Amino acid sequence: QLLRRRQIVDMITAESNRLKMAPDAIKTGIQSHIDYLKKEMDDIDKTLDNLITESEICSNKLSIMTSLKGLGRVTGMNLLANLPELGKLDHKKISALVGVCPYSRDSGTYRGKRIIWGGRAQVRQAIYMAALVASRHNVLIKNFYERLLEKGKPKKVALVACMRKMLVILNAMVRDNRHWDPEF
């Protein structure tokens, strides 16, 4: 269901872009297709909500994850479906599994840049968007992001570090069955 939802979001985006450039003669057809796709997405959202509420475990995990400011319901559902290991692995393994763990590119005396690669692309994309929101609205992540920028880190590097930090926090929250508490 999540894969189909993602496909529909992509189609809505493509059709919306076409609508901007389309001649008046075909705008109504494109708009009716967008309306149909939005209805389909609403149906999928209802189905996903029903599946989650039927499972007490999934409902509880989603409630815990979405208590972290910056992480929404869709991202939480993505993590539930595509990262069932959340809460069961240590912070290094979960970071590597998602693909936000930096790897060195050293050889002999050469010291290359650290890069991230591999992992689960769908989860990484979802965490990226959540980290982008959290770097503006979650006090802890925002302060962490700003500290990295002050140290001279490029914005993308700082954002990936925020992704990793959020993932580690989420992992601990699910493991300990605790909702987000900024004071903790």
- If we measure between CA atoms, which residue out of 51, 79, 82 comes closest to residue 169? 79
CA separation for the pair 1, 52 (Å, rounded): 12
Helices 91-98 and 121-137 meet at what angle, rounded to 10?
110
Q: What is the pLDDT of residue 184?
A: 65
- CA angle at residue 70 from 68 to 75, to 5 degrees? 90
Q: What is the pLDDT of residue 116?
A: 77
CA separation for the pair 120, 2 (Å, rounded): 15
Residues near 7 by beta carbon (within 8 Å), at least 6 away in sequence: none
> What are the C-alpha distances in Å from 44 to residues 39, 48, 127?
9, 6, 21
Could you read off the pLDDT of 1-46 as tens digits, one per residue?
888 999 999 999 999 999 999 999 999 999 999 999 999 999 999 9
Could you read off the pLDDT of 116-149 as tens digits, one per residue?
778 888 899 999 999 999 999 999 999 999 999 9
> Where are the strands (E) in 108-171, listed by range?
none
Other CB atoms closer than 10 Å to residue 160's CB: what's the count? 24
